[in-house]
Structure 1
Amino acid sequence: MFSNLDVISNDKSVLHFISIENYSAELIERICAEVGKIWNGDLDGEDDLDLIKAELRELFDGKSDKQKHGLVSEFICHLYLRSSGYEQHFLFRNLEEKGMKKGFDGLYILDDYYWLYESKSTLPTTAGASHNANISEAYNDLKKKVEGTYDETKKNNPWKNAYSHAANRAIKENATLSQTLKSFSSDYTLGKYYNISNFNVIPSSTIYMDAGWTAIDSDDLGEKILGLIDRYTCRQIAVICLNKKTVDDFITFING
């Protein structure tokens, strides 16, 4: 499915390098099987595929170029994480059009531990785009959310939003996770924050390349990313770096 994939791991970190020029038949088949579950949750994800596509078209309608690229990046990373054994505890869609956002871009469970996911992407026109810069931005966003260091104009309780998603009836129930998120939400409201060093994190980076398409050089990028994350404090870290040519294949999919 992810034919151009390299995984590098050590005792604290796992690096996932994915390169997607075009969608293979196998990848499209997996998208068809998983898109409803990613969108609506594992317990409510068997809706008609045409209905899911219509809802996704509505989501994309009126979005900026940057927003469309960001949504496709997130979706592909969610698809990949699910295929790698991570259990999804949030909905890709918002609970209500003007309701709770996810807080974090994703919340997963793997090996009885929960993981916080944050996604960053750059357009083909972004000068000097690099995975290091995107991963750094994603990690720092997670750190600010957990540690409550956003200024007041940006601050928003990410745990309350995460709890609202994890407790949704369409998500597989995990009472321990729900109680943990509820407790974190209460603490956050009362001004009690935590240190990112106690959390498992998944920062992801997508670079769109258009006519300048090239696959990731895993040896070169692996050295750069390991040098970057060596400075990070967290319990464990899984990094996703995705080179993607365009969003065209996904737009074609939802329009088909």
Structure 2
Amino acid sequence: NIRDHFPTVVSPIEGTPAYYMGIQGGDQIIEIDGESTRDFTSRDAVKKLRGPKGTSVNITIRRPGQEEPLPLTIVRDIIKVESVPYGFMMGDIGYIRIQNFARTTHDELETKLKELTKQGMKGLILDLRFNPGGLLNAAQGVSELFLEKGRLIVYTKGRLRETNRSYYSEARGTVYNKVPIVVLVNGSSASASEIVSAALQDHDAGLVVGKTSFGKGSVQTVFSLDQDEALKLTTARYYTPSGRGRRS
């Protein structure tokens, strides 16, 4: 995300080189290989940061609460990301971590829920901390695992009529709402994470615990320009079932 003219980390993805180097949500990348990133777009930053496996990139970050910039050297690697990396029991309480919202998230989460239910789960902690979000339909799919069919999950409003849409639960299988649910969020929980946590909160399906979330309430649409280029525009904002908007 871009904040105050600089690329800003929403959340590092677990298991990546940046994660192991201690990059935190809220860190601003102010230099890449000695070049200032002021007024960089997200795409500019990604092009500079990506490179062959085993090569290094030097960055300087500005961290909230620290006066001096922090220089870091990160060795690039191949990134393999599991959407739902683990789920386990703590006594009779289940714990599941979702680290992003992708095409496979619904199926991965459903598998974990089935496993924990067989182990006698009597309560669930759903951890969305440090989750920067992802696909809107993945957020819908996750919400459907906890909300009865027909419940409003989120709606969007924009300048054009076609951007005004409502998304409802289309739950086709088991709905896991028979046990108490606690949803963990923090300042690096953004976008799809906020959609899920707000939907469960507004329908009294879960208790949201933690710090104020990131506040990404915008919907982007990608328009293809030619074979190699595209334009991404903010086309709408999303609102929770109770009508709350998110700061962007």
Choose 1 or 2 for highest CA Rg: 2
Decide which structure has greater helix share.
1
Same fold (TM over 0.5): no
TM-score, with length taken from structure 2: 0.26
Q: Which structure would you say has the larger RCO, counting Cα contacts within 8 Å and 6 or more residues apart?
A: 1
Q: Which has the higher strand share?
A: 2
TM-score (norm 1): 0.26
